[in-house]
């Protein structure tokens, strides 16, 4: 188990409190994407395909603090784009920690060694380095050679400075279970504090559409991996073991998209981290005005193959709280990797995919242009010659 006991206990207490209060929908992890700009261009990435004017947008420190307060989730995951390109990131991290949030910064680690002195180790903070497997697997995944070596060097340097260092691994349909398991063994031996692993989501804008996993292949792959790691017990998994149980085909889960609400430069993203089907200005609007029943496995074509942690981890945590004995057995025995799989949710009545990316991009570009014009007009007015003002 890669989650520190105190952290698990605090998050557990938060979930129990929400249940006791009868709150039907509540956030567990705020996904904060303070920018989309990245210094890599991975083939499976669905986050960076925007015009420059949008890639140049940043969520400010003030807006980040407001998002954290509005949302109230106990965990804040800062992703992107590459968060270390954001100049105010050190203040954002410090501000979130001051609010007693558990903060994870997801990074491709290219800038980690250079920038880590701007951060302090804390029980509330960890780096999560994007690492999709061993040297050959990772460099192929990020479409650039030498990145794996940089990641490893940065992780070692961060560990030496006393930081908690996790990895986050996204797997695609070319992953080999034995090799993935050997990679997790290696990461454990290296002393990483936690491993987050998930199948990749089939982003419609990702350049490589050939390598996304479907549900059947995901389950087979995770059974193959987990069978080589004592059902997941061999590694410091930084996720609920019930989520791993789901990935191995032993649970029929529907996603909990409001569990990981997402704030980007567009606003609060409907309905989840993976799908941008609309944006609203406030967290309250997101929770109250999203038609949640339109999404999830069996409800929407774009959800058909999704088994990603930011959709299903919250479901697994809720299941753990509701069925502690079942969860305890999985924790003690490890994830079952043989035998019958749990039934699948039928896809027969799912609604067809809607494509709205271009509309959102156009709206945002219009908004940016209007703001730029307002700023230019204000500056022009400020610089107006005194003689002219006097004449008016």
Interface with ligand SF4, residue 27, by CB under 6 A:
no
Distances from the Cα of 113 to the Cα of 107, 232, 330, angstroms: 11, 30, 38
Crossing angle for the helix pair 309-322 and 5-20, to the nearest 10 degrees = 70
- Measured N-to-C along each axis, helices 324-333 and 309-322 cross at an angle, to the nearest 10 degrees, of 110
Which residues 43-62 are close enough to bind ligand SF4 by CB under 6 A? 45, 47-48
Q: Are 307 and 215 in contact (CB under 8 A)?
A: yes
Query: In the chain, what is the straight-line distance between the N-terminal and C-terminal CA atoms, in Å?
Result: 72
Among 274, 286, 314, 317, binds ligand SF4 (CB under 6 A): 274
Among 40, 347, 361, 365, binds ligand SF4 (CB under 6 A): 40
Which span sits near ligand SF4 by CB under 6 A: 42-50, 172-180, 215-223, 376-384? Answer: 42-50
Q: Binding marks (x or -) toward ligand SF4, 302..341, rule CB under 6 A?
A: -x--x-x--x------------------------------
Position with the least CB separation from ligand SF4? 311
Interface with ligand SF4, residue 95, by CB under 6 A: no
Q: Is there a contact between 67 and 283 (Cβ–Cβ < 8 Å)? A: yes
Q: Which stretch binds ligand SF4 (CB under 6 A): 33-41, 151-159, 282-290, 380-388?
A: 33-41
Give CA–CA dist 279/157, Å, rounded.
39
Cα(56)–Cα(39) distance, integer angstroms: 13
For residue 116, the minimal CB distance to ligand SF4 (Å) is 17
DSSP H helices in 21-168 = 52-55, 61-71, 89-98, 112-115, 135-141, 147-160
Rounded CA-CA distance 204/200 in Å is: 12
Strand-strand pairing, 267-271 and 276-280? antiparallel
Residues 363-392 touching ligand SF4, rule: CB under 6 A, are none
Interface segment toward ligand SF4; rule CB under 6 A; list 77-85, 279-287, 337-345, 365-373: 77-85
Q: Cβ closer to ligand SF4: 238 or 295?
A: 295
Give me 243's structure tokens.
Answer: 């989520």
Q: How many angstroms separate the CA atoms of 107 and 85, rounded?
A: 10
The answer to whether 286 contacts ligand SF4 (rule: CB under 6 A) is no
* Shortest CB 294 distance to ligand SF4, Å: 9
Q: Does the footprint of ligand SF4 cover residue 86 (CB under 6 A)?
A: no
Nearer to ligand SF4, 124 or 266 (CB): 266
> Of residues 133-152, which lie at the interface with ligand SF4 (CB under 6 A)?
142
Residues that bind ligand SF4 (CB under 6 A): 38, 40-42, 45, 47-48, 80-82, 108, 130, 142, 255, 257, 271-272, 274-275, 295-297, 303, 306, 308, 311
């Amino acid at each position: 188990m890669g989650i520190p006991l105190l952290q698990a206990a605090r998050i557990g207490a938060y979930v129990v409190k929400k249940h006791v209060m009868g709150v039907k929908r509540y956030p567990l992890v705020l996904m904060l994407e303070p920018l989309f700009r990245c210094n890599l261009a991975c083939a499976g990435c669905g986050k960076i395909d925007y015009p420059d004017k949008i890639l140049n947008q940043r969520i400010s420190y003030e807006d980040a603090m407001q998002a954290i307060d509005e949302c109230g989730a106990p965990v804040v995951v800062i992703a992107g784009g590459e968060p270390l390109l954001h100049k105010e990131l050190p203040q954002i991290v410090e501000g979130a920690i001051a609010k007693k949030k558990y903060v994870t910064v997801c990074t491709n680690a290219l800038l980690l060694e250079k920038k880590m002195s701007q951060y302090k180790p804390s029980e509330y903070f960890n780096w999560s380095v994007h690492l999709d497997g061993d040297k050959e697997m990772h460099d192929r995944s990020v479409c650039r050679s030498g990145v794996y070596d940089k990641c490893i060097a940065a992780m070692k340097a961060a560990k030496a400075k006393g930081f908690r260092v996790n990895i986050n691994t996204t797997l695609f349909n070319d992953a080999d279970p034995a090799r993935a398991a050997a990679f997790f063994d290696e990461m454990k031996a290296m002393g990483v504090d936690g491993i987050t692993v998930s199948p990749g989501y089939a982003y419609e804008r990702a350049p490589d559409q050939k390598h996304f996993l479907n549900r059947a292949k995901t389950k087979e792959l995770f059974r193959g991996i987990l069978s080589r790691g004592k059902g997941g017990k061999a590694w410091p998994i930084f996720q609920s073991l019930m989520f791993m149980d789901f990935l191995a085909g032993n649970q029929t889960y529907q996603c909990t998209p409001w569990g990981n609400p997402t704030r980007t430069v567009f606003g609060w993203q409907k309905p989840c981290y993976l799908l941008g089907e609309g944006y609203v200005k406030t967290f309250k609007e997101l929770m109250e005005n999203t038609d949640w029943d339109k999404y999830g496995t069996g409800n929407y074509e774009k959800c058909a193959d999704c088994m990603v942690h930011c959709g299903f981890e919250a479901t697994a945590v809720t299941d753990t709280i509701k069925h502690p004995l079942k969860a305890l057995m999985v924790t003690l025995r490890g994830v079952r990797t043989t035998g019958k799989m749990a039934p699948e949710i039928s896809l027969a009545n799912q609604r067809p995919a809607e494509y709205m990316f271009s509309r959102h991009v156009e709206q945002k570009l219009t908004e940016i242009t209007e703001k730029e014009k307002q700023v230019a007009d204000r500056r022009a007015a400020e610089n107006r010659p005194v003689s002219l003002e006097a004449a008016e």
